[in-house]
Chains A and B, each alone.
Chain A
Amino acid sequence: DAGVTQSPTHLIKTRGQQVTLRCSPKSGHDTVSWYQQALGQGPQFIFQYYEEEERQRGNFPDRFSGHQFPNYSSELNVNALLLGDSALYLCASSAGGYSYNEQFFGPGTRLTVL
């Protein structure tokens, strides 16, 4: 049973560019959440997708957007990249999206903005 997968593993971009990160949830899961983990910090919630809709959003600007596909996979898009967007981006999947359900995390995509 494959767990949560993310691609790419690493990415280097320059300021002002746009980036798309991808996530495939664990089999049987229908909910995907995205987190940003800056170096030495805990993950910060970006947003959650359920039934192809953004269900909740954290304190991130509109430059961060996402999408969920009918097969439950998801993309995170970041426009107009800033140096401060450099971080590990984690995708987490769960079933039904209830807050007490365990979220399973992928290995992350390391984004470096130069």
Chain B
Amino acid sequence: GNSVTQMEGPVTLSEEAFLTINCTYTATGYPSLFWYVQYPGEGLQLLLKATKADDKGSNKGFEATYRKETTSFHLEKGSVQVSDSAVYFCALSTSGTYKYIFGTGTRLKVLA
């Protein structure tokens, strides 16, 4: 079945460090891919998305490229801030279904 695998957390970085959070997926057909962020005590907010192979989603300095050949959608940011501390979820959806399938989440902690 369809699934999403994220790297284990927590990830602890110093401010202005480079961030990579790995996400790989298994899916039939051509999924749409998403990164959501969850701040403490809040619901999920869409960070970025890509709907077809080679698309690059970007928002607030975060980027992720839909790589069909490696079935990956890794999240990157060149310089993290303390305010980026949150839990990040990779998710997919496939045509013909209406649900999102989420990874287990990766907690990011950025130290000043």
Given A45-B99, A107-B43, check contact A99 B32 (CB 8 Å): yes
Partner of B49, one of A42, A97, A102, A106: A102
Pairs across A and B, CB under 8 Å, 5 listed: A33-B98, A33-B99, A35-B100, A99-B98, A108-B43
Interface size, chain B (Cβ < 8 Å): 27
| Chain B residues engaging chain A, CB cutoff 8 angstroms | 4, 32, 34, 36, 41-46, 49, 51, 89, 91, 93-105
Please give the distance in Å from A41's CB to the nearest CB on chain B. Answer: 6
| Chain A residues engaging chain B, CB cutoff 8 angstroms | 4, 31, 33, 35, 40-45, 48, 50, 55-56, 58, 90, 92, 97-100, 102-108
Given A42-B102, A100-B51, A102-B49, check contact A107 B42 (CB 8 Å): yes
